[in-house]
C-alpha cells in the first residue's frame, strides 16, 4: 500500500517535471519569438550602418618591386591608389556579424573584372602612354616657366612664396608623370597580366550629443561577390564596439513598412526613410543601403537603385560562413565582448552645425519624415518638418536646376550640391547661399569664395581644362587684383589683374637690384648746348616720375651697366660714342653698344656699318639692336615678315663677328602685336623691353627699360633707367659668360 503510494507520487513528480520543462520550453520559444519580432530601436539600427569607400585598381607586375598600377578607367596611378585624378567610389553598407562582416552593393565593382583581358590591357596601355606623353610635355613647359620665375625673383617679390609652393607641387607631379610613363613604356613587347586589387575603407559615424559627430574609419577586405551583393569584413575581424549588427535570417523576411537606412548624399550621419520615398532622391551613396521592416529585421538591400530581397545577401554571406560556423563564431565573440571590458577605440570628432544631427525620433515619425510635394520654386523630395524641407532632400527647380543636399527651415543649409545647365556648385550652404565652395563648368574647376550669383568673388583658385592655373583674387567672376597664373604657353604671370586681363608685375625697387642706363648724343646735346658726363660721380638718384613705383629705401644706386648708341641705319653715327665707351671701360663699368634699326636698309648692311662704328671689344656687353618701327613703316617695307627677316640677318651677322648672341630691344606694344609671328631663329635671342609704367613687362626678358625720365648724378637732363631681370650674382655670371668673345 505504501509502495503503491510512493509509485503514484513518483509518477506525479515526473509528470510535473515534464510539464514544467514543456512550459519552460514554450516560454523560451515565445520569448525568442517576441525578441525576434520586437522592433529594434532605430538609433541602434542606424549604428549598424557604415559608409563603404572602394578604390579599385589593377596591378601589372613588371618585375619584383616594380608594379604598374592602373585605375578602373585605365589611368596609371600610385600604389596607394592616388591617381592623377580621384577614382574612389562610395556606397552604404551594414554590419551583419560580430566578426565585422558588411553587406553592400556590388555596383562598386560593376565594371571591374578580376583580371583584365589581354586586348583590353594593351589598348589601355597604348592610350595611357599617349596621354602621359602629352601631359609630360605640358608639365615640362610649365616647370620651365616656374624655374625661370624662381631664377629671376626673390622672396621680396609679391606672390613669391605662393608661386614657389605651386612649383614644389608641380615638380612632384612632373616626377610622378615621368615615373609612370617609364613603367608604361616598359610593358611594350612583354606579356603582362593585370589583376584587380581593391582597397576598402569603412567609416562609422555616431552623434556624440554635442552637435558633432564621432567618426571611426577601419580597413576592410573583400570576402564574397555574388548576385550583385558584395560581402566585406573588417581587417581585424572584430565588429567596432559602438556598432550594431543586423542578423541575416535563413528565410525571406517580409518587407512590411520597409525603411532604407544609409548615407543620404553628403550628410555626415546615416538617416532613415521609407523605401518608397527614396526613388526620387538623387543620392548615389544610398546604393548598398540596408532596408528593415516594421520589426527591425533586415529585409533587403538597395541595389542598382531598387530594393532587393535578402536572397543574394544570404548567398554571399553563407558562402563565407556556414550556419553552424556562423552561430559558433557570433556566440563566442558576443560572450567575449560581454565579459571583457575594452575601452572604446580612438575616434575623431568633427563639428557639424547641420541640424538635427540624427533627426530620428521613432519608427512612426521616421516613416512619415520623407515626402514629395510641390513648392513655389519647384518639386521637393526628401525629409520634411511639416510643410518645409528639413534635413536631406532634393529640389527640382522650375528652371531645370536641381539641388541635392541638406536643408534647415526650408532653406539650403549645410553640405549640398546644385546642378544647373552651365555648372555644378558644391559646398557648405548658409541661409540658402553658397559663400564658399567649388564650381565646375564645361571648361574649368574653381574652388574658393563665391558671390550671391555664384560667381568667383574674393580669394579662390581655378584650373582650366587646357592646363592653365590661377590663384588669387576675383571680382564677380573675373580675375581682379593680385594673383598669379601658370600655363603651358605664357610665363608665370604674378601681379595685378584687371577685368580678367593681366596688367603686369609690380616689383619692389631696392638697392639690391641691378640698375643700368643707356645714353646717346641727347645726354650731351641739350638745347643747343653740349655737356660732358662726370664719370666719377655717376649715381642713379631717381627712377623717374612718369609712373607709380614701389620703392623701399633711398634712391641712390650705382650704375652697374651702361649701353651707348653707336649708329643708326648705314649713315648715322653717334659722335660721342667712342669717348663715352672708353670712359666707361676705364671706370670698370660693364658697357656695350646699340644700333638703331632702319626699315629702309637691309639688315646685313646695317650690321656691317654697326661693326665698323662700334668696334666691339672682347669683354664688352653683348651688342643690342634697337627696333622701334611704326606700323606704316612696317607696311612700307613689305610687312612684318620682311622686318623679321632683316632683323634676323642683323642678329646673325653680328653674332658671327662677336662670338656672342646680340640682344633685341623692342617695346611692350611690339611684343604684344608682332612677336608671336617671329620666326624660330629670332627666338634664340634675349630681349630688352621698353615699358614706361608701373608694371614689369610680362615676357621673358634680360633688361627692362622702366623709365625715360630718370635722373643720374653726373649726367645733365633725363636718362633712360633699366633694371636687370635677376640677382647681382646672376648678372655677374652673365657678364662673365655672355660678353663679346672676339
**pLDDT given for residue 221 in this prediction:** 92
Q: What is the pLDDT of residue 320?
A: 66
| CA-to-CA dists, residue 408 to 401, 405, 413, 414, angstroms | 20, 10, 5, 8
660-676 pLDDT per residue, tens: 999 999 999 999 999 98
3-state helix, strand, coil in the chain (%, to 5): 30, 35, 35
- The 10s digit of each residue's pLDDT in 168-180 is 999 999 999 999 9
Model pLDDT for residues 377-409, shown as the tens digit of each residue: 998 877 777 778 887 788 889 999 999 888 888
C-beta of residue 621 within 8 angstroms of C-beta of residue 739:
yes
Q: What is the dihedral of CA 74, 78, 83, 86, to 10 degrees?
A: 120
Residues 730, 560 contacting (CB under 8 angstroms): no
Closest CA to 570 of 605, 604, 541, 595: 605
Return the H-helix or E-strand segment holding 388. strand 388-397
For 398-410, the DSSP string reads TTS-EEEEEEETT
Q: Give the distance, in angstroms, between the CA of residue 133 and the centroid of all CA atoms in the same chain.
A: 20
Dihedral sign for Cα atoms in the order 234, 239, 242, 246: positive
Which pLDDT score, from 0 to 100, does residue 246 have? Answer: 87
Q: Where are the beta strands (DSSP E) in 136-269?
A: 194-207, 212-226, 229-234, 259-262
**Which residue from 119, 135, 122 is spatially nearest to 83, judged by alpha carbons?**
135
Task: Tell me: pLDDT of 312 over 80.
Answer: no
Mean pLDDT rounded to a whole number for the chain: 85
DSSP-derived 3-state class of residue 638: coil
Who contacts 110 (Cβ-Cβ below 8 Å, separation ≥6)? none
* Residue written as grid cell 650731351: 524
Among the residue ranges 490-499, 616-625, 651-660, the one predicted with the least confidence is 490-499
For residues 330 and 340, what is the distance between their CA atoms, to the nearest angstrom?
A: 15
CATH superfamily of the domain spanning 508-738: Glycosidases (3.20.20.80)
Residue 426 pairs in a beta bridge with 417, 438
547, 152, 623, 527: CA torsion to nearest 10: 20
Is a pLDDT exceeding 60 seen at residue 364? Answer: no
Going by pLDDT thresholds of 50, 70 and 90, the confidence category of residue 63 is confident
Query: Sorting pLDDT into bands at 50, 70 and 90, what band is 190?
Result: confident
Q: Which range among 75-79, 88-92, 468-472 has the greatest average pLDDT?
A: 468-472
**What is the residue whose three cell numbers read 546644385?**
418
Q: Which cell is 346 given?
A: 580612438
What is the secondary structure of 276-307 as a DSSP string?
Answer: GGSTT---GGGTT-EEE-TTS-EEEEEETTEE
Does the pLDDT of residue 294 top 60, yes or no? yes
pLDDT at 210: 53
**Banded model confidence at residue 330, pLDDT cuts 50, 70, 90:** low
Read off the pLDDT of residues 299-310 as tens digits, 9 standing for 90 and up. 888 888 888 888
Task: Tell me the mean pLDDT in the region 95-107.
Answer: 89
Residue 370's closest CA among 394, 398, 397? 394
Instruction: Please state the domain extents for the chain.
Output: 48-116+193-340, 368-434, 445-501, 508-738
Dihedral pair phi/psi, residue 206, rounded to 5°: -135, 140
- Cα 597 to chain centroid, rounded: 48
State residue 598's pLDDT score. 97
CATH number of 48-116+193-340: 2.40.10.10
Kindly tell me if the per-residue pLDDT of 345 is higher than 50: no
pTM for the complete prediction? 0.78
Write down the residue that cell numbers 607586375 correspond to. 61
pLDDT of residue 14: 57
| pLDDT tens column, 699-733 | 889 999 999 999 999 999 999 999 999 999 999 99
Residue 634: its pLDDT value, please?
A: 96
Count the Cβ atoms, other than its own, within 10 Å of residue 444: 17
At 118-139, the pLDDT tens digits run 999 999 999 999 999 999 998 9
Q: At what angle do helices 311-320 and 323-339 cross, to 10 degrees?
A: 80
pLDDT score, position 303? 87
Percentage of residues of the chain with pLDDT beyond 90: 54
State the cell numbers at 652. Answer: 646673325
Closest to 162 measured CA to CA, from 416, 470, 405, 548:
470
DSSP-assigned states of every residue in 684-726: GS-EEEE--SSSB-SS--SEEEEEEEEEEETS-S-EEEEEESS
Which residue, among 682, 684, 656, 663, has the nearest Cα to 741 in the 3D structure?
Answer: 656
Confidence (pLDDT) at 361: 36
Work out the pLDDT band at 360, boundaries 50, 70, 90: very low
pLDDT at 12: 57
Q: How far is residue 591's CA from residue 560's CA, in Å, rounded to a whole number? A: 9
Mean pLDDT of 517-535: 95
Asked if residue 265 has pLDDT above 60, the reply is: yes
The candidate with the shortest Cα–Cα distance to 161, out of 467, 514, 488, 471, is 471
Segment 176-196 mean pLDDT: 91
Residue range 277-281: mean pLDDT, rounded: 66
Q: Is 536 exposed, middle or buried (0-12, 13-18, 19+ CB in 10 A)?
A: exposed
Cβ proximity of 93 and 50 under 8 Å: yes
Amino acid at each position: 500500500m505504501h509502495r503503491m503510494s510512493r509509485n503514484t507520487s513518483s509518477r506525479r513528480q515526473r509528470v510535473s517535471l515534464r510539464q514544467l520543462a514543456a512550459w519552460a520550453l514554450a516560454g523560451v520559444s515565445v520569448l525568442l519569438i517576441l525578441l525576434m519580432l520586437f522592433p529594434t530601436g532605430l538609433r541602434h539600427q542606424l549604428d549598424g550602418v557604415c559608409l563603404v569607400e572602394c578604390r579599385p585598381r589593377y596591378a601589372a607586375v613588371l618585375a619584383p618591386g616594380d608594379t604598374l598600377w592602373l585605375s578602373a578607367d585605365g589611368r596609371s596611378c600610385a600604389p596607394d591608389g592616388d591617381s592623377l585624378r580621384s577614382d574612389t567610389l562610395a556606397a552604404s553598407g551594414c554590419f551583419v556579424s560580430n566578426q565585422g562582416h558588411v553587406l553592400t552593393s556590388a555596383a562598386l565593382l560593376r565594371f571591374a573584372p578580376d583580371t583584365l583581358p589581354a586586348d583590353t590591357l594593351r589598348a589601355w596601355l597604348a592610350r595611357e602612354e599617349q596621354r602621359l606623353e602629352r601631359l609630360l610635355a605640358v608639365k615640362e613647359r610649365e616647370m620651365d616657366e616656374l624655374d625661370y620665375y624662381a631664377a629671376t625673383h626673390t622672396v621680396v617679390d609679391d606672390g613669391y612664396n605662393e608661386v614657389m609652393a605651386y612649383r614644389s607641387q608641380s615638380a612632384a607631379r612632373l616626377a610622378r608623370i615621368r615615373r609612370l610613363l617609364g613603367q608604361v613604356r616598359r610593358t611594350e613587347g612583354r606579356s603582362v597580366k593585370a589583376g584587380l586589387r581593391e582597397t576598402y575603407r569603412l567609416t562609422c559615424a555616431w552623434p556624440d550629443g554635442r552637435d558633432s559627430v564621432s567618426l571611426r574609419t577601419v580597413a576592410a577586405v573583400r570576402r564574397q561577390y555574388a548576385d550583385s551583393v558584395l560581402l566585406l569584413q573588417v581587417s581585424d575581424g572584430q565588429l567596432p564596439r559602438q556598432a550594431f549588427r543586423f542578423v541575416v535570417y535563413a528565410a525571406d523576411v517580409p518587407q512590411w513598412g520597409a525603411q532604407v537606412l544609409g548615407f543620404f548624399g553628403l550628410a555626415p550621419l546615416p538617416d532613415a526613410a521609407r523605401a518608397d520615398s527614396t526613388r526620387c532622391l538623387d543620392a548615389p551613396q544610398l546604393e548598398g543601403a540596408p532596408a528593415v521592416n516594421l520589426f527591425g529585421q533586415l529585409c533587403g538591400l538597395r541595389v542598382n537603385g531598387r530594393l532587393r530581397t535578402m536572397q543574394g545577401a544570404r548567398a554571399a554571406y553563407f558562402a563565407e560562413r556556414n550556419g553552424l560556423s556562423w552561430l559558433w563564431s557570433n556566440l563566442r565573440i558576443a560572450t567575449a565582448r560581454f565579459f571583457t571590458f575594452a575601452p572604446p577605440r580612438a575616434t575623431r570628432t568633427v563639428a557639424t552645425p547641420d541640424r538635427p544631427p540624427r533627426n530620428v525620433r521613432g519608427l512612426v515619425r521616421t516613416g512619415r519624415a520623407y515626402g514629395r510635394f510641390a513648392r513655389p520654386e519647384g518639386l521637393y523630395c526628401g525629409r520634411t518638418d511639416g510643410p518645409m524641407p528639413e534635413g536631406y532632400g532634393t529640389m527640382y527647380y522650375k528652371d531645370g536646376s536641381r539641388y541635392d543636399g541638406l536643408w534647415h527651415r526650408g532653406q539650403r543649409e549645410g553640405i549640398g550640391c546644385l546642378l544647373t545647365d552651365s555648372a555644378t556648385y558644391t559646398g557648405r550652404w548658409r541661409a540658402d547661399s553658397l559663400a564658399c565652395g567649388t564650381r565646375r563648368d564645361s571648361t574649368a574647376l574653381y574652388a574658393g569664395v563665391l558671390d550671391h550669383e555664384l560667381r568667383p568673388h574674393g580669394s579662390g583658385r581655378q584650373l582650366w581644362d587646357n592646363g592653365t592655373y590661377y590663384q588669387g583674387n576675383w571680382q564677380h567672376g573675373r580675375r581682379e587684383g593680385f594673383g598669379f597664373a601658370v600655363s603651358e604657353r605664357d610665363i608665370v604671370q604674378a601681379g595685378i589683374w584687371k577685368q580678367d586681363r593681366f596688367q603686369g608685375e609690380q616689383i619692389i625697387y631696392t638697392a639690391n637690384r641691378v640698375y643700368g642706363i643707356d645714353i646717346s648724343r641727347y645726354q650731351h646735346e641739350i638745347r643747343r648746348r653740349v655737356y660732358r658726363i662726370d664719370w666719377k660721380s655717376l649715381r642713379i638718384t631717381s627712377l623717374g616720375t612718369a609712373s607709380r613705383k614701389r620703392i623701399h629705401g633711398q634712391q641712390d644706386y650705382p650704375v652697374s651697366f651702361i649701353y651707348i648708341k653707336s649708329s643708326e641705319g648705314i649713315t648715322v653715327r653717334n659722335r660721342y660714342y667712342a669717348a663715352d665707351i672708353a670712359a666707361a671701360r676705364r671706370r670698370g663699368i660693364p658697357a656695350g653698344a646699340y644700333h638703331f634699326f632702319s626699315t629702309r636698309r637691309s639688315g646685313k648692311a646695317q650690321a656691317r656699318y654697326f661693326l665698323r662704328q662700334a668696334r666691339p671689344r672682347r669683354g664688352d656687353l653683348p651688342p643690342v639692336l634697337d627696333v622701334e618701327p611704326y606700323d606704316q613703316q612696317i607696311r612700307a617695307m613689305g610687312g612684318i615678315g620682311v622686318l623679321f627677316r632683316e632683323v634676323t640677318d642683323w642678329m646673325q651677322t653680328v653674332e658671327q663677328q662677336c662670338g656672342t648672341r646680340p640682344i633685341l630691344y623692342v617695346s611692350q606694344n611690339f611684343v604684344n602685336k608682332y612677336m608671336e609671328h617671329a620666326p624660330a631663329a629670332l627666338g634664340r635671342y634675349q630681349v630688352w623691353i621698353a615699358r614706361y609704367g608701373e608694371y614689369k613687362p610680362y615676357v621673358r626678358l634680360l633688361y627692362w627699360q622702366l623709365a625715360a625720365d630718370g635722373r643720374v648724378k653726373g649726367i645733365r637732363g633725363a636718362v633712360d633707367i633699366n633694371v636687370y631681370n635677376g640677382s647681382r650674382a646672376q648678372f655677374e655670371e652673365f657678364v662673365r659668360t655672355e660678353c663679346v668673345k672676339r
